[in-house]
Amino acid sequence: MQKEIKVAIIEDEHEIRQLMTLIIDGSPGYSCKQSFDNCEDALLNLAADPPDVVLMDIDLPGISGIEGVRKLKEKMPGTDFLMLTVQDDDESIFNSVCVGATGYLLKDTPPAEILKAVEDVNKGGSPMSASIARRIVSSFKAENSTSLSEREIEILRHLCNGENYKVIAEKLHISGHTVRSHFKNIYKKLQVSTKAEAVKKAINERII
């Protein structure tokens, strides 16, 4: 058997924290010697003996779990963070993974699956509750069908590289006037009126 997986818990509700601690510490292959009811204490004490995996709640008094991951991750880059929360809104999910959480479980996850998730994280995976995974995967899906012509997409691509009309015109061997005409049509089709919006839309809708 491999080395025991060292787990820490940050969770403000005593009952849940104690229950989780008991479950983890009582399971062979896992240990949980550190638990906190807020991020501030964790920030002061956790880095002294970094765990392999941290189970992190989001709705905490003081520093939120998301902010906590960001700060703790700096001190313990080798530790994986697994969110364990009731929050299932997009903002919480995406902010969590953006700051470095490697997994995201909802609190209705049965204990056996939480243990499996901890092991999974430790092995290099990213366990997520089914609905969370779906949302993350869906976020990649292209919302196709913007009726931009080939040429317009080409120009949009140049725009995204920060090139101005003149440069684009030179690269495409057309006049600046033409580039501007294309831009006007692109703006109309994308329903925007500035370069900034066009770039945003181009990236978010994966046109480019």
Partner DNA sequence: TATAGAATACCGCATATGGGTGATTGAAGC
Partner DNA sequence: GCTTCAATCACCCATATGCGGTATTCTATA
Residues making contact with DNA (CB under 7 A): 147, 149-152, 164-166, 169, 172, 174-175, 177-178, 180-185, 187, 193-195
Cβ-based nearer residue to DNA, 2 or 144: 144
133 binds its own copies (CB under 8 A): yes
* 16 versus 172: smaller Cβ distance to DNA: 172
| Residue 45 binds to its own copies (criterion: CB under 8 A) | no
CA distances from 127 to 15, 45, 162, 163, 192 (A): 24, 26, 38, 41, 39
Question: Of 21, 39, 38, whose CA–CA distance to 30 is shortest?
Answer: 21
Beta carbon of residue 41, minimum distance to its own copies (angstroms, whole number) = 24
Q: Which of 18, 45, 131, 175 binds its own copies (CB under 8 A)?
A: 131
Binding of residue 175 to its own copies (CB under 8 A): no
Among positions 72, 97, 105, 114, the unique one binding its own copies when judged by CB under 8 A:
97
Whole-angstrom CA distances from 98 to 37, 69, 87, 103, 123 are: 23, 10, 16, 11, 20
Q: How many CB atoms lie within 10 A of CB 111?
A: 13
Residue with tokens 């995996």: 53
